[in-house]
């Protein structure tokens, strides 16, 4: 059985949804950031980075969302969550998810994780003020140049879709109007209606 460590409101949601979409046998354990559980000795023994998500497999622990999503797509090929038979198409999936991880997520993190990059309060305020601009620009680029439709990669639902959905859930809090990117707004609505997404979102409320 796979075991996912996650926290609500984080990028771990993408892996959580994908586990459900894949039909995996898994358990999910919630960590409390309010009590700093991610930095407890018990969790640091699992993921020394002190972050979520972490996915415990029978071969060891995986971290970093793009890696976990690719692992699940390859481990559960019958779920058809990535174009595994075409190296270029699979690389495009990885390229999209890497952009979400390395650029979009980092822009978002400047809102509440400014201490990773600066020490002055004035710097934190400046970072926060930039969030609507940087996040809006990222989603505009995705809408105009990267999103193929009706799903991220085209006709086939892939591991890119739960990841985009996850980061889209942050837009309102980042003062970005998702309706400024109508394709992504439509994607968000359709993702919200998927049984796997509904199940995971309900489980997080429990």
pLDDT for position 130: 87
Tokens for 67?
A: 């890696």
3-state SS record for 45-77: CCCCCCCCCEEEECCEEEECHHHHHHHHHHHCH
Query: Rounded distance, CA 77 to CA 134, Å?
Result: 35
Name the residue with higher pLDDT: 110 or 172: 172
Burial of 193 (0-12, 13-18, 19+ CB in 10 A): exposed
pLDDT for position 125: 75
pLDDT for position 124: 66
pLDDT digits (tens, 9 = 90+) for 3-34: 999 999 999 999 999 999 999 999 999 999 99
Q: Which residues neighbour 195 within 8 Å (Cβ) at sequence distance 6 or greater?
A: none
Q: What is the mean pLDDT of the chain?
A: 94
Tokens for 50?
A: 């002190």
The domains of the chain, with CATH numbers, are: 2-80+198-205 (3.40.30.10), 87-194 (1.20.1050.10)
pLDDT for position 119: 53
pLDDT for position 11: 97
Instruction: Check whether 78 has a pLDDT greater than 70.
Output: yes
pLDDT digits (tens, 9 = 90+) for 117-158: 555 666 667 778 889 999 999 999 999 999 999 999 999 999
Burial of 16 (0-12, 13-18, 19+ CB in 10 A): buried
pLDDT digits (tens, 9 = 90+) for 83-103: 999 999 999 999 999 999 999
Q: Report the run of H or E that residue 199 belongs to, with start and end.
A: helix 195-205
pLDDT for position 127: 74
Nearest to 11 by CA among 110, 114, 101, 88: 101
pLDDT for position 120: 64
Query: Rounded distance, CA 160 to CA 165, Å?
Result: 9
pLDDT for position 21: 98
pLDDT for position 129: 82
Instruction: Check whether 57 has a pLDDT greater than 80.
Output: yes
Span 186-195, mean pLDDT? 98
């Amino acid at each position: 059985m796979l075991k996912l460590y996650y926290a609500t409101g984080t990028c771990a949601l993408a892996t959580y949804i994908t586990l459900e979409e894949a039909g995996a046998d898994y358990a999910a354990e919630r960590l409390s950031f309010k009590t700093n559980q991610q930095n407890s000795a018990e969790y640091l023994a699992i993921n020394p980075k002190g972050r979520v998500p972490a996915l415990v497999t029978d071969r060891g622990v995986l971290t970093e969302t793009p890696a976990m999503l690719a692992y699940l797509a390859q481990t559960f090929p019958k779920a058809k969550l990535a174009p595994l038979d075409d190296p270029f198409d699979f690389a495009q999936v990885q390229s999209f998810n890497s952009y979400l991880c390395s650029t979009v997520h980092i822009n978002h993190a400047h809102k509440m994780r400014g201490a990773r990059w600066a020490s002055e309060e004035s710097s934190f305020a400046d970072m926060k003020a930039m969030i609507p601009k940087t996040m809006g620009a990222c989603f505009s680029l995705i809408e105009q140049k990267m999103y193929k439709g009706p799903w991220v990669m085209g006709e086939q639902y892939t591991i890119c879709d739960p990841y985009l959905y996850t980061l889209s859930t942050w837009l309102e809090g980042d003062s970005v109007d998702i309706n400024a990117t109508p394709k992504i707004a439509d994607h968000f609505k359709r993702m919200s209606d998927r049984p796997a997404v509904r199940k995971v979102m309900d489980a997080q409320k429990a």
